[in-house]
Amino acid sequence: MKRRTFLKFGGALVAQSVIASSLLDSVFLSTAHGQTVSIRDLKNSLPADQAMILVPQDAQFASYQQAFNKRTLKTPIVRVLCSTPQAVAISIQWAQANKVPLAVRSGGHSFEGLSQGTGLIIDTRPMSQFQISSDKQTFIAGAGALLGNVYTELAKDGRAVPAGSCPTVGITGHTLGGGYGLLARPLGLACDSLLKVEMVNAKGEIIQCSADENKDLFWALRGGGAGSFGIVTKLQFKTHEVSHVYTYGMSWKVSPEVAAQLMKTWQQWAPESPREITSLMKVSRGKDGLINVRALGQTVGTENILRSELARLSAIAQPESLNIKDLDFMSSVRHFGGSFDQEYIFMKGKSDYIKQVMSDEGIAVLLKKIPSGIDVIFDSYGGAIRDVADDATAFAHRTGTVSSLQYYTQWFKEADGKAKLETMKTFHDALRPYMSGAAYFNYCDLDIKDYARAYWGNNLQRLIDIKVQHDPNNFFAHAQSIPLKKGS
Ligand SMILES: Cc1cc2nc3c(=O)[nH]c(=O)nc-3n(C[C@H](O)[C@H](O)[C@H](O)COP(=O)(O)OP(=O)(O)OC[C@H]3O[C@@H](n4cnc5c(N)ncnc54)[C@H](O)[C@@H]3O)c2cc1C
């Protein structure tokens, strides 16, 4: 079998083979929960070439602390960068024996820092390997792999996997929450291409989950799996042939009345358009009372059909610009995703789902109240997302879903955070009456009170049953993990 491997991040780590701190032997860590623990056992049981242990006193600690959202950073008492599932298992057992709370970090892009913690962080970044099968139909990625690296490797064989647009997002957190991207309407969500998952469970066992083994967990991991059932160490996906696409972008600066017509027409059109086309619509407040509307997306079909479909939007108002580009797949990844360099900012996101086209009143409220500095991004559903039944995987937002809405704001000075958060919450609260009540876990939001019902809808009870069976002590937990019972 021909294999390719990249160890961009992991290679550097393994070469160092570090058990980092000279202080480590004698260090005792006071946890936020009041107990004192020694990490001597952890150090003694972890093979030096399989893990790097970092405590805050270590010189290298700070360089692994960064994550996309600077607003939600937490300082752990110890971070273990694991390069094998065995190292993950040992770390889990140590955390259990010492009652140290655990968080798991892969790509570090959680909107709410659900991969952050004050106890032990198991960090999968060193497991970033990639292998494509000899027939190119499947690939395996380590849990620490990033979307951009996976796209780059697959594109060498004219293949792709449907997943998100940001190259620095981790494939693991993304897929476990669903995984929407610009191939979603022809090819489905990232979790729909998942074939097999290797995971370390609460007993510290390395298990496989697929349509044949641990079927219940495989169901749960596809949409409900982030940080709730175990630590994923490897994922196998099917690949799809995608060599080139036509991307498009159209923009308008229009009055609220015209913006409302564009928004309504987009919602009627985008989820029902030919499934080759995936469309996003971005709405923001412009200058002089105008609204900025941008429709963008891509098709794996023909330029002619794309042009005739887009005529639905230009019939409402002539766009300031309409750009259609014929791009190879990697150029389209760079076109939408921008830089492959890690970025660290302060941000807040929220989400909603609409199951029917928004009412005129709902659109009017959105356009009246949208503050400057907040983008509302509609992601079109339908197509292959809708081919899968709502209860076939844990991802529940398929049948009849028109679109998700992502609300996004970012800032660069910490001091601006309070005002930004208040503005976002006030705006979102005003819109909730016009929405379905559902929300997307990958755009997680700690303000949602009944988050489990919002994220997983009618699949919640089955997820709870699986949680009770596989993690009855709720060892894998974060602020929005699958609870052991409803309402907890
Ligand atoms: C800039 C940006 C762009 C984005 N674009 C998109 C997009 O186009 N489409 C989309 O659908 N989403 C998008 N997202 C959301 C993204 O999919 C989620 O934030 C996702 O959870 C990130 O995964 P991660 O591995 O990078 O994050 P992490 O912060 O490492 O983890 C996220 C979650 O996964 C869990 N987790 C992490 N590793 C493991 C593991 N090994 N085993 C079990 N659980 C684990 C954590 O507990 C946490 O709950 C975007 C986010 C950002 C910040």
In a domain, 146, yes or no: no
Instruction: In whole angstroms, give the CA distance from residue 226 to residue 254.
Output: 40
- pLDDT digits 0-9 by tens, 398-420: 999 999 999 999 999 999 999 99
Quote the pLDDT of residue 6: 30
User: CATH number of the domain that 312 lies in?
Assistant: 3.40.462.20
Between these two residues, 38 and 227, which has the higher pLDDT value? 227
- pLDDT digits 0-9 by tens, 58-70: 999 999 999 999 9
Tell me if 106 CB under 6 Å of ligand 1.
yes
Q: Cβ distance 440 to 455 under 8 Å?
A: yes
- How remote is the CA of residue 175 from the centroid of ligand 1, in Å? 8
Structure confidence at residue 16 as a pLDDT band (50, 70, 90): very low
In a domain, 125, yes or no: no
Which atom of ligand 1 lies nearest, measured to the CA of 440?
A: 11
Quote the pLDDT of residue 90: 97
Q: What dihedral do alpha carbons 153, 331, 267, 179 form, nearest 10°?
A: 20
Tell me if 105 CB under 6 Å of ligand 1.
yes
Tell me if 234 CB under 6 Å of ligand 1.
no
Tell me if 126 CB under 6 Å of ligand 1.
no
- pLDDT digits 0-9 by tens, 314-365: 999 999 999 999 999 999 999 999 889 999 999 999 999 999 999 999 999 9
In a domain, 471, yes or no: no
Quote the pLDDT of residue 14: 33
Tell me if 395 CB under 6 Å of ligand 1.
no
In a domain, 204, yes or no: no
In a domain, 135, yes or no: no
In a domain, 168, yes or no: no
- pLDDT digits 0-9 by tens, 157-168: 999 999 999 999
Quote the pLDDT of residue 406: 98
Q: Cβ distance 385 to 188 under 8 Å?
A: yes
User: What DSSP element (H or E) covers 347?
Assistant: strand 346-354
Tell me if 143 CB under 6 Å of ligand 1.
yes
Q: What is the domain count for the chain? A: 1
- Most ligand 1 atoms within 8 A of CB, residue of 9, 114, 161, 172 to mutate: 172
CA 273 → CA 243, 382, 458, 476, distances in Å? 22, 9, 27, 40
Q: Please state, for a pLDDT cut of 70, what percent of the chain lies above it.
A: 93
Quote the pLDDT of residue 109: 98
* Residue 161 in tokens: 């996997």
In a domain, 461, yes or no: no
Over residues 366-388, mean pLDDT: 98
Tell me if 349 CB under 6 Å of ligand 1.
no
Tell me if 68 CB under 6 Å of ligand 1.
yes
In a domain, 211, yes or no: no
For residue 17, pLDDT beyond 70 = no
- How remote is the CA of residue 79 from the centroid of ligand 1, in Å? 19
Quote the pLDDT of residue 486: 81
Task: Supply the range of the domain harboring residue 373.
Answer: 244-454
Over residues 230-249, mean pLDDT: 98
